[in-house]
Amino acid sequence: MKIAGSVEPSAGGEPTPRYLAERQKKIRSQNIRIVFLEQSATAVIQNLARDNHFGSAELDPLGGVEGRATYIDLMTFNARAIDRAHAFEDS
């Protein structure tokens, strides 16, 4: 897995149209097929994934909910999300 960048310019910050256009160009030029979202992902990011026909998977940076109450459970949840995303990418 290679990190190509971030769609949000800063944590919780809404991207500008120019910033999104730059991300979209990079997505296409690098043939990116998967984007990972945090629980707090904005509709802008989800729409970007849908509009550009690539997959998305949710990662949980916080945990503390049923099934992700411990650090090990949280890491297992995120590892499985990454594994499922790679299965999508290979299909």
Q: What residue ranges do the domains of the chain occupy?
A: 17-90
Q: Contact, 3 vs 30, CB < 8 A?
A: no
Residue 78's pLDDT band (boundaries 50, 70, 90)?
very high
What's the mean pLDDT in 62-83? 92
Q: Out of 12-16, 29-33, 65-69, pick the least confident.
A: 12-16
Hey, what CATH class is 17-90 in?
alpha beta
Question: What pLDDT score was predicted for residue 9?
Answer: 65
pLDDT in tens, 23-66: 888 888 888 888 887 766 667 777 777 887 887 788 888 888 89
Question: What pLDDT score was predicted for residue 15?
Answer: 77
